[in-house]
Structure 1
Amino acid sequence: MTQDPEAPILKARPRWHIAVFLAPALLVYTVVMLVPLMQTLLLALENVRDGNRVFVGLDNFRTLFGDPRFSDGFWNALRNNVYFFVLHMLIQNPIGIALAALLSVPRLRGVALYRTALFLPTILSFVIVGFLWKLLLSPLWGVAPNLLGSIGLKSLFAPWLGQEAYALTAVSLVSIWQFVGIPMMLIYAALITIPAEVIEAAECDGITGLKQFFKIKLPLIMPTIGLVGVLTFVGNFNAFDLIYAMQGALAGPNFSTDILGTYLYRIFFGFQLQAGDRYMGAAVATAMFLIILLGVSFYLFVVQRRMRRYQM
């Protein structure tokens, strides 16, 4: 079929309505996110010299990474943050995958009730969760010693939140309990969107049960699992609230639960006898931003590309 050369050519109309609808969201995002981010990055390159605010380049970062007054706390917080993240990746996300797989079983009854119960801690306040678990784990009036004693395991109880060797693990497990519902729901949503034809074809080939999950379903939901990993990384390296609620700004005992979020709080705003330094605080915030940016970039340009090649 040939086109008539004399027929008028219809030009695409400019879709101004898209810009109109996006403008309010972009305005709010710019004011709330982009402007503070740029101001923080600029503040990290400045400091006070002889009472004047001057541009110092990377001096704040040299101090942060090299001066023991700041570097000792920063590297300790970074190590704790990495441990915090690894525990979530190794415990929270596999549990979320397992729970999602169980909830997606067609013959399971009461799925809505289980979903609600498992997701409910996610919407609770950090303050409520932190205070609740401090009461449960308290050696004086907590429920945990009595519960372990009722089954003959009271000797296993210890004041975990007060011991340097176990405090960070205990807080991490509380965080895992609170947020395991997020990977569960994301992966559950991916599982139930797998076409029924794929499942039926697998069953015709005799692939059922766990074999079906690992050979058919798991490869299909790998992009969602990758997204869950990125969200876990970003959330853990931005964490602050739960540590602050359970262990305070000093992230005790002896900074054993200190992560980048609590360290930033003390450096920027100060705490007790420690004076706040907004320029060094901005340097810490910039370092956190760069760590998160590198992690997300690694996923987008390395992991996600390999996933696409695998799917093709």
Structure 2
Amino acid sequence: MASRKPVRWHIAVFLAPAVLVYTALMIVPLFGTLAQSLMNHDATGARIFVGLRNFATLFGDAVWSDAFWNALGNNTWFFVIHMLVQNPIGIALAAILSTPRLRMAGFYRTAIFIPTILSFVIVGFVWKLILSPIWGIAPGMLDAVGLKFLFAPWLGKEEYALTALALVSVWQFVGIPMMLIYAALLSIPDGVIEAAEMDGITGWSQFWRIKLPLILPSVGIISILTFVGNFNAFDLIYVAQGALAGPDFSTDILGTFLYRTFFGFQLQLGDPYMGSAIATAMFGIILIGVCIYLFGIQTRLRRYQF
């Protein structure tokens, strides 16, 4: 008679606390929000089921739809800047820091990564002071190198404010793609590098032709993490520009739009039902993006994995 395998109860015991906490703080509120997006209140204030009426208002009513599409467009631009600036810089820094002959590489990695552990409140407030045309140090620094004519009140102009805040976010979080790519570069087998060197492929040519194709899966993971993080962004915009995301809603993103709608701000009353509809729309956008990555991109990148 074959002996039965012992039941590994310890696995469930160790996983249970994390699963319970995650369920209570993430899963239950998520389904609660999805359900509330299908509800509203009648004239007496009683909660009633309205189906997709909230979404019809969000996308069909000019007052709501204009604000939503403005926030979505700003959020998309916020994400594009991170993809085109943060991630390429992170990859370049990782390639430089992974060079064996580079001195003090550990110090540089630490210095670049430190901003990622700073509070959004600190980063937003400090950069708002730096870029202030009244008491900020940015005009003086540009004047010291003869470039003061380039200075403008970037956070006060509609055409520049969102881009300026996106670049501040890039400065804060460029250390994350740098470290992930750095770890991916270190995981490349030495035999592959030695074979490339025997064929005369060295320096940046080796990075572009050998290393970069091998770390594409890591680049894909960084891209989807950037997408999810940017479409959940809220803190930096709120700290620097307030809930109204000025000037004239030019820095308004989905997170600040959701905050004003759900909780209310100044003369705008909070509407938890429309707020839930906006949160559900954000969840749908992020879910679609993640699915496109998982089923359309990741499967093609697996061929590069060891």
Matched, 1:264 2:258: yes
Cross-structure match for 2:39:
46
- Which residue identity lines up with residue 67 of structure 1 in the other structure? D
Instruction: Give the drift of 1:70.
Output: 1.1
Matched, 1:132 2:133: no
Cross-structure match for 1:198:
192
Q: Which runs of 5+ in 1 are unaligned?
A: 1-7
Matched, 1:174 2:205: no
Instruction: Give the whole-Å Cα distance in 2 for the aligned partners of 1:79 and 1:108.
Output: 41
Cross-structure match for 1:3:
none
Instruction: Identify which of 16, 30, 42 aligns with 2:9.
Output: 16
Mark the structure with the bigger radius of gyration.
1
Instruction: Give the whole-Å Cα distance in 1 for the aligned partners of 2:186 and 2:238.
Output: 37
- Which residue identity lines up with residue 233 of structure 2 in the other structure? A
User: What whole-Å deviation, never above 9, does each CA across 1:103-136 have from its counterpart, x for those lacking one?
Assistant: 0000111011101100011001111111111111
Q: Superposition pairs for residues 268-307 of structure 1, below 5 Å? A: 268-307=262-301
Instruction: Give the whole-Å Cα distance in 1 for the aligned partners of 2:160 and 2:17.
Output: 47
Cross-structure match for 2:137:
143
Instruction: Give the drift of 1:311.
Output: 5.2
- Which residue identity lines up with residue 128 of structure 2 in the other structure? K
Matched, 1:250 2:244: yes
Instruction: Give the whole-Å Cα distance in 1 for the aligned partners of 2:293 and 2:77.
Output: 19
Per the alignment, in what secondary structure is the counterpart of residue 54 of structure 1?
strand
Q: Work out whether residues 36 and 276 of structure 2, in 8 Å CA contact, stay in contact via their aligned partners in 1.
A: yes
Instruction: Give the drift of 1:199.
Output: 0.8
Instruction: Give the whole-Å Cα distance in 1 for the aligned partners of 2:91 and 2:37.
Output: 40
C-alpha change, 1:310 and 1:111, in structure 2 (3 Å) is closer
Per the alignment, in what secondary structure is the counterpart of residue 166 of structure 1?
helix
Per the alignment, in what secondary structure is the counterpart of residue 148 of structure 1?
helix
Instruction: Identify which of 19, 30, 34 aligns with 1:37.
Output: 30
Per the alignment, in what secondary structure is the counterpart of residue 158 of structure 2?
coil
Per the alignment, in what secondary structure is the counterpart of residue 273 of structure 1?
coil
Instruction: Give the whole-Å Cα distance in 2 for the aligned partners of 1:10 and 1:214.
Output: 54
Cross-structure match for 1:241:
235
Instruction: Give the whole-Å Cα distance in 1 for the aligned partners of 2:272 and 2:96.
Output: 48
Per the alignment, in what secondary structure is the counterpart of residue 48 of structure 2?
strand
Instruction: Give the drift of 1:101.
Output: 0.3
Q: TM-score, normalised by structure 1?
A: 0.96
Instruction: Identify which of 27, 33, 38 aligns with 2:20.
Output: 27
Instruction: Identify which of 183, 206, 229 aligns with 2:223.
Output: 229
Instruction: Give the whole-Å Cα distance in 2 for the aligned partners of 1:10 and 1:88.
Output: 56
- Which residue identity lines up with residue 34 of structure 1 in the other structure? I
Per the alignment, in what secondary structure is the counterpart of residue 40 of structure 2?
strand
Q: Work out whether residues 214 and 304 of structure 2, in 8 Å CA contact, stay in contact via their aligned partners in 1.
A: no
- Which residue identity lines up with residue 151 of structure 1 in the other structure? V
Instruction: Give the drift of 1:26.
Output: 0.6
Aligned residues: 305
Cross-structure match for 2:85:
91
The root-mean-square deviation of aligned C-alpha atoms, in Å, is 1.1
Q: Which runs of 4+ in 1 moved over 3 A?
A: 309-312
Instruction: Give the whole-Å Cα distance in 1 for the aligned partners of 2:119 and 2:217.
Output: 30
Instruction: Give the drift of 1:50.
Output: 2.2
Cross-structure match for 1:5:
none
Instruction: Give the whole-Å Cα distance in 2 for the aligned partners of 1:146 and 1:304.
Output: 47
Q: TM-score, normalised by structure 2?
A: 0.98
Q: Superposition pairs for residues 197-216 of structure 1, below 5 Å? A: 197-216=191-210
Instruction: Identify which of 69, 74, 80 aligns with 2:63.
Output: 69
- Which residue identity lines up with residue 54 of structure 2 in the other structure? N
- Which residue identity lines up with residue 12 of structure 2 in the other structure? A
Q: Work out whether residues 217 and 304 of structure 2, in 8 Å CA contact, stay in contact via their aligned partners in 1.
A: no
Cross-structure match for 2:211:
217
